[in-house]
Structure 1
Amino acid sequence: MNFVKTKIIFALLILGMISTLPAFAESLITIKTNSNSYKEGDTVVISGKVTTIIIGTPITMQIFSQGNLVDVAQFNVAEDGSYSYTIIAEGPYWTKSGEYVVRASFGEGNVAETQFSFSPKSEVVDTDIFEVDAGSHGTFDVNYSISGGVVKNMLVDKDILALIVIIETDDDGSITLEMPRSAFDAKKQDQTDDTFIIIIDGIEVPYQETVTNTDSRIITINFEEGDSDIEIIGTTIIPEFGTIAVMILAVGIITTIIITRNRFQIHI
């Protein structure tokens, strides 16, 4: 019986020791930043304190973005156990917006972490012009700007009344298109503006319409890394397509009516 009690007490002591270890590790080093969010070019000040100074042991500081290392440094603590590290949030590795993780390591197994949000400056994107081939109906120009990829081609699919934009992406991004109404549009029956249908690689996605005037419509479409085909479906594309189709249909109907009437009159 005493042997069983001894085993129970020993097990409880072990559990107690294990439960206190994380608390000790967490309290050995602290970390904080001077702000919870930064923009590109801001000064990031990381500071903290260690409760026990280990002679000859530096602090290793690492900053991560989506698991990728952005910055690393080593430095010694002050005599009172405090430390501070300053970095300017800019450079080739400060490109992703979102949460950044700061990790401070001191000695073996002593780690503290904190987070902050970062927003890079809006990239200045040049506007280009793509000359879209409309077959026998000539060409029309689409002004566009894109970030996160490049435009490989734009083409017309008259069967579905769509402008198809083929892109090659290296990151999440967006494309803004200024589409001339004379070549491509989406209209309701009362001739007021209708919404476009946007499909990326078979999936319908939302879009933002920023400018609308009598000559053009400007829309912005967000895409993800790996996307390739953007279908912008409207109700008219190259008026000649629609006009010819309507004319052919009208001529066909009229011809049918005339033939029917003539036959009817002959039988009479």
Structure 2
Amino acid sequence: MNNRTSFALLAVLTAVGTLTISSAYATEHYPAACVGCSMEDARAIANEMLLESIPVSVWTDKTDYGHNDMIMVTGQVANVSGFPITVTVVSPLNSLVTIDQLTVAEDGSFETTISTAGAMWKYDGTYTIKVNYGSAEKSNSAKVELTGGVEWIPNYSIPTIEAPIECGADDITVGDQCIPYSISGGMVTGATLNSGDNGSIIISINAEEDGTLTINPETTVIDGIFMVLVDDEQWDDVEIVGNKVTIMFPAGAEQIEIFGTYVIPEFGIIAAMILAVAIISIIAISAKSRLSIIPRY
């Protein structure tokens, strides 16, 4: 065999090897062509590819429910990492309805049922089912509509013009309230109140490293603190002593939400004083009325 023939044979073998490797690479990284598939099969393959690209997905068996139904919640994670799924439900009033943790199956699926019976579900409207899988980036939500219950009508009033509240350097300004706090490993960038039963204080932070946030609100602001979420995930690294709360947060945390059995609405100090005077007046009148009916001898 001469040199020209040897080079030609080597070129053919190289080309065949390259085609074989390319075919194997394509088979590994791209799905096989669905020859002769129906439209339903094509949709199923597309949905499967979509689920594999989304960190966590969630859906319900339907979108509309009554106030004594069961919501079937199903979901899928793209990569199983050993974390539980945290499920929270928020009402149309933006208050927490329920919270739960689910175990993820080996195939990445998870499911649960949620009952819409009970006082926390009494209002009609859109309820948001949120899921979180280990970090704030791996989250998703589904919305359902409840009908046949109580219609929520906001009780709006004309706001009272008041002088702005000036809080100290060691206070968080929330509406017209000043809440004492201290923080290490980051800084507080803002705070808001969700008022009412099972309301909360939402504190935005910029955490450059692992740190600690301590707040000590008055019981007139929030009372009965019972739970803390860090970036929408239930947090156990918390110390609660009376109304003083200390939260150990990780680097990169952005939001801390503190729940109490009751949180005051964001009304002004003047409105609170008027309410207090009215209560004292009622008590005084009631006491005077009781004295007037005591028989005299």
- Shorter-chain TM-score tier: 0.3 to 0.5
More strand by share: 1
Q: Based on CA coordinates, which of the two structures has the bigger radius of gyration? A: 1
Q: TM-score, normalised by structure 2?
A: 0.32
Q: TM-score, normalised by structure 1?
A: 0.35
